[in-house]
Amino acid sequence: MHKILDTVDAQLETSLERLFAFLRIPSISAQPVHAPDCRRAAEWARDMLEGMGFTARLSETSGLPGVIATHHEAGPAAPHVLFYGHYDVQPADPLALWNSDPFDPQLIDGPRGKRIVARGAVDDKGQVVSFMEACRAHLTVNGKLPVRLTVLLEGEEENGSPSLAELLRKERDNLAADFVLVADTNMWDFETPAITTSLRGLAAVEVRLHGPSRDLHSGLFGGIALNPIAALVKILGELKDDAGHIQIPGFYDGVADVPEALAASWAGLGFNPEAFLGDVGLHSPAGEQGQSALAQLWARPTAEINGIYGGYQGEGSKTVIPAHATAKLTFRLVPGQNPQKVVENFERFVTERLPPDARAEFLHGGASPGFAVSPDAGFLRAAQAALAAEFGKPAALIGSGASIPVVEAFKTHLGLDTLLAGFGLDDDCIHSPNEKFELACFHRGTRAHARLLAAFAS
């Protein structure tokens, strides 16, 4: 291993040269004018992988192509890893706020040493190259990788991944693996690596409450006519009790407590809810009483009203009893909850509370279950060991309150779990001007990836 890590260190300068070449290609997937640049970035990555000994090709879609590369010399007994990254980047606007050309990467001084500044520096070209350079070190020293590796690079991640499902369906047989490794997330802080072990799922539903057949004058009808806004707020007002527990029957079916070891690990993170909420003008965790702030964010399901409307919304007042009122809800789900069941139970909750003359109509949005890596998964234990060895401290095992669409897609289309380990920092300004990647994060990330590859095989 030392030899491999020494190689990583020794090749740092040339690794950076390769990263800079990649960063100079303005592969902005959201802007059609940059479609040729996107293709150029895909070809650059394909050529780079081919040069390292991979079998690499573009895989065409109805949008931008994917890059698929394999290096299976490790043989059928070795674990099979599917690495995922993306070669496209966010638009660079507003250009005026950049201190240098976003597509002319710079190595500048920062408070934590040198940093790489460019669009895509960390999201995701820097993280992709960091992984590739780890592979290069293995290949330089041993002529082969410790695992069977398939690389999948997407070209539309920053544009909502419109062709990803198509790509996964088409290449299903070529993407078989034991698990997916995604390098597109952050460390806990500059000293502490992180593995995201759970994501919340989502179920969306819209409820339209219908009352009178037309808008009514609230003087001539007020008191005797059903007001759909009043009916809607009365029903939705009962969604949670005073302790924040969601009152939909069956809502918590299958929801497990946070495992003790994980809860202890979270407690050790020193998360400060006051500081977290203070950034957005709040002070008190508003979720279920009796649950820690991190559990409220990562491990507990929610029932959120994302939008509501009905009646008059202009200046001043209008004496109307409207014919309709609408609310849009999403439920954040955790493993064990069935999205369809949650929506059904909500609909029953509403329907049972409808006053006479009210009629409810439901519109369904997306539905995806929560995701969690088993604490006993081999790839997780291997990753914990590798990261601890590189950083001298254990990785933070964290959750995310939101979904990550690619993780869902891998589960749905390939049946694979995902290991989320990346080396960005929260202050890297992704999607913003002056995006950067700390050189130390790039370097330690490469070393960590080298260790990860070895650890998966051991």
Query: What part of residues 281-320 is at the interface with a copy of itself (CB under 8 A)?
Result: 281-288, 293, 296-297, 300, 302, 304-313, 316-320
Nearer CB in complex with a copy of itself: 308/389: 308
Nearer CB in complex with a copy of itself: 199/421: 199
Check binding of 239 to a copy of itself (CB under 8 A). Answer: yes
Nearer CB in complex with a copy of itself: 277/457: 277
Q: How far are the Cα atoms of 77, 150, 385, 449, 451 from residue 458, in angstroms, in the given order? A: 11, 18, 11, 14, 11
Q: DSSP for 83-151?
A: EEEE--B-----GGG-SS-TTS-EEEEETTEEEEESTTSSTTHHHHHHHHHHHHHHHHHHSS-SSEEEE
CB of 427 vs a copy of itself, minimal distance in Å: 16
CB of 245 vs a copy of itself, minimal distance in Å: 12
Q: Do 336 and 370 meet the contact criterion of CB atoms below 8 Å apart?
A: yes
Strands 396-400 and 194-199: parallel
Structure-token pair, residue 439: 């050189």
Report d(CA 99, CA 118) in Å as an integer. 10
Check binding of 162 to a copy of itself (CB under 8 A). Answer: no
Report d(CA 312, CA 323) in Å as an integer. 11
Residues pairing with 78 in the sheet: none
Nearer CB in complex with a copy of itself: 230/429: 230
Q: Using alpha carbons, select from 428, 373, 368 the residue that is nearest to residue 402.
A: 368
Q: DSSP for 234-249?
A: HHHTTSB-TT--B-ST
Q: Is 176 helix (H, G, I), strand (E, B) or coil?
A: coil
CB of 77 vs a copy of itself, minimal distance in Å: 40
433 prior amide bond cis, ω within 30: no
Nearer CB in complex with a copy of itself: 320/457: 320
Nearer CB in complex with a copy of itself: 170/353: 353
Check binding of 212 to a copy of itself (CB under 8 A). Answer: yes
Nearer CB in complex with a copy of itself: 112/318: 318
Residue in the structure block whose two tokens are 């330690």: 444
Nearer CB in complex with a copy of itself: 151/246: 246
CB of 418 vs a copy of itself, minimal distance in Å: 17
Report d(CA 247, CA 254) in Å as an integer. 15
Instruction: Please list every residue from 324 through 353 that binds a copy of itself, using CB under 8 A.
Output: 325-328, 330, 332
Check binding of 111 to a copy of itself (CB under 8 A). Answer: no
Check binding of 232 to a copy of itself (CB under 8 A). Answer: yes
Report d(CA 61, CA 216) in Å as an integer. 53
Instruction: Please list every residue from 351 through 380 that binds a copy of itself, using CB under 8 A.
Output: 355-357, 365-366
Tell me which of 202, 207, 406, 416 binds a copy of itself, using CB under 8 A. 202
Q: At 15, which helix (H) or strand (E)?
A: helix 12-23
Nearer CB in complex with a copy of itself: 102/339: 339
Sole window of 32-40, 123-131, 395-403, 438-446 interacting with a copy of itself (rule: CB under 8 A): 395-403
Q: Do 151 and 55 meet the contact criterion of CB atoms below 8 Å apart?
A: no
Sole window of 43-51, 148-156, 399-407, 435-443 interacting with a copy of itself (rule: CB under 8 A): 399-407
Nearer CB in complex with a copy of itself: 304/427: 304
Tell me which of 32, 111, 143, 223 binds a copy of itself, using CB under 8 A. 223
Q: Using alpha carbons, select from 129, 168, 94 the residue that is nearest to residue 21.
A: 129
Write the single-letter amino acid at 434: N
Sole window of 34-42, 78-86, 201-209, 388-396 interacting with a copy of itself (rule: CB under 8 A): 201-209
Sole window of 17-25, 118-126, 196-204, 253-261 interacting with a copy of itself (rule: CB under 8 A): 196-204
Buried b (16+ CB within 10 A) or exposed e, 25-37: bbbbbeeeebeeb
CB of 273 vs a copy of itself, minimal distance in Å: 7
Nearer CB in complex with a copy of itself: 202/419: 202
CB of 395 vs a copy of itself, minimal distance in Å: 21
Nearer CB in complex with a copy of itself: 320/388: 320
Check binding of 243 to a copy of itself (CB under 8 A). Answer: no
CB of 280 vs a copy of itself, minimal distance in Å: 4
Q: Do 213 and 357 meet the contact criterion of CB atoms below 8 Å apart?
A: no
**Which residues, in sequence order, are CB contacts of 187 under 8 Å at separation 6+?**
193, 194, 422, 423, 424, 425, 441
Tell me which of 69, 183, 216, 398 binds a copy of itself, using CB under 8 A. 216
Write the single-letter amino acid at 329: L
Tell me which of 77, 143, 173, 214 binds a copy of itself, using CB under 8 A. 214
CB of 88 vs a copy of itself, minimal distance in Å: 22
